[in-house]
Amino acid sequence: MQFTALQIATLIKGKIEGNPEAKVSHVAKIEEAKDGSLSFIANPKYEEYLYHSSASIIIVNDSLELKESVNPTLIRVKDAYSGFASLLEKYNELIARTGKNGIEQPSYISKKASIGKDVYVGAFSYIGDNVIIGENVKIYPGCYVGDNVVINDNSTLFSGVKVYDGCSIGSRVVVHSGTIIGGDGFGFAPQKDGTYKKVPQIGNVIIEDDVEIGANTTIDRATMGSTCIRKGVKLDNLIQIAHNVEVGENTVIAAQTGISGSTKVGKNCIIGGQVGIVGHIHIADGTRINAQSGLSKSVSSPNAALTGSPAFDYKSSLKSQAIFRNLPELLQRLSKIEEALDELTNAPKTNISVK
């Protein structure tokens, strides 16, 4: 499928510098682009590739000042990264409209299920009783959708996704392969004899609109009530979200993070990879947590930046790290001061008479 510079500029509201009829048929990284490639530059450190690139079209920032002439046709936009992402999104929508639909066999769809228009259900998928599936939903091969699940319009479950009974998925949600939604929360009551008694998990999971969930992520159902993933949340691969957790709107969480039960994460938070968060705490809106941090208490001030384990203020942590790196030198200096004090203390006393 080919696109001209004029078509692309129209889609992303950009300004053309060069040939408006330049054509591309594929996308590539700027350092690997060839004739017929579309690429972009958002990070200044890649600018050097611009002047030698064989790409046909490159999307750049409005603010970019050329240091020399270039061969590719440029499309200038306010934010090249966002413009390129917007273009890929529109391309994805085009593919989706012309993509898979219909019911493949073998698959099982309960007679009590309600299926909307233009739905795709891949082979070896299971759709349980009283399931409601909206329009243009894509369920790829090998998925399990339990009884009483709701999946709203334009959502996609990739191969191998499991959605347990009673869970709800909003519109335009993307769930990648291997993810499990609605498995039992980790609830066990310790007994006097040292054993553990399972606490039944009778709640569900609610995923609101425009959420994306990476591969092999697990979101546990609530003990009672709901585990909630609010509108616009983006979850990376290999994340564990425990029972009764709430993740606020437009929060993003990187891979291998674990959030313990009943914790409430605010809106617009940014949580790095391999972060561990204890249960039953609140995290204020806009909080940023650095990778590999451990959060053990609530965060009450919005827009805080935290790092370390236990996590504390980011700037204070940097100062502490600087002191830690200087400890060997500080120890040497302290030793010299102690030696000097010993010499002064042990020095023979001199009698001084004043006339």
The token pair that represents 355 in the structure block: 């006339």
Tokens 């091969």 sit at which residue?
141
pLDDT at 303: 97
pLDDT at 1: 73
pLDDT at 50: 93
Question: What values do phi and psi take at 294, rounded to 5?
Answer: -125, 115
160, 197 Cβ separation under 8 angstroms? no
Q: What would be the CATH architecture of the domain defined by 102-315?
A: 3 Solenoid (2.160)
What residue segments make up the domains of the chain, in order of their start? 3-97, 102-315, 316-344
Active site residue 280: no
The CATH fold of domain 3-97: 3.40.1390
201, 221 Cβ separation under 8 angstroms? yes
Segment 276-280 long-range contacts (CB within 8 Å, at least 24 positions apart) = 276/309, 279/242
| Strand order across the 37-40 sheet | 15-17, 73-77, 57-61, 37-40, 26-27
How far, in whole angstroms, is CA 100 from its chain's centroid?
27
pLDDT at 91: 77
- Cα separations (Å) of 37 from 2, 90, 91, 297, 324? 10, 17, 15, 49, 49
From the candidates 52, 176, 243, 282, which is the catalytic residue?
243
Averaged over successive runs of 10 residues, the pLDDT of the chain (355 residues) comes to 91 95 93 94 91 95 93 96 89 66 95 97 98 97 98 97 98 97 96 96 97 98 97 98 98 98 98 97 97 95 90 71 80 86 73 51
Specify the length of the chain in residues.
355
Torsion of CA 85, 90, 96, 97, to 10 degrees: 180
227, 243 Cβ separation under 8 angstroms? yes
CA angle 46, 51, 55 (to 5 degrees): 85
Burial (CB count <10 Å: 0-12, 13-18, 19+), residue 274? middle
The pTM of this model reads 0.77
pLDDT at 88: 84
